[in-house]
Amino acid sequence: MKLLDIDIPEQEMEADDIVKKYGDWIEDYIIPQVFLEFADGSVRHIFTGHSEGVSYTEKGFSDLLKSDWFKNLKQEGN
């Protein structure tokens, strides 16, 4: 797992590059954004937080972790 803090200039630049290349890019992009990097080097954007607030982001991420898609992904990785 790699966490980037956009309040640290070097990490902000790296986060900007990742979001521009793979994520939901706008000048003032929403955080968090979550990406998976696979063994073959491919990267997939799987989640963007919600501008409505932390509770919406928490529910959205919780729903993702409970989803059939995520369960299948974990099974494929075993």
Mean pLDDT of 9-27: 96
SS3 (DSSP) at 75: helix
pLDDT digits (tens, 9 = 90+) for 30-68: 999 999 998 899 999 999 999 999 999 999 999 999 999
Please tell me the predicted confidence (pLDDT) of residue 44: 93
**pLDDT-derived band of residue 78, with 50, 70 and 90 as boundaries?**
low
Helices (H), the chain: 9-22, 54-66, 68-77
- Could you state, in order of their start, the residue ranges of all structural domains in the chain? 9-77
Beta carbons of 60 and 50 less than 8 angstroms apart: yes
Give the pTM: 0.83
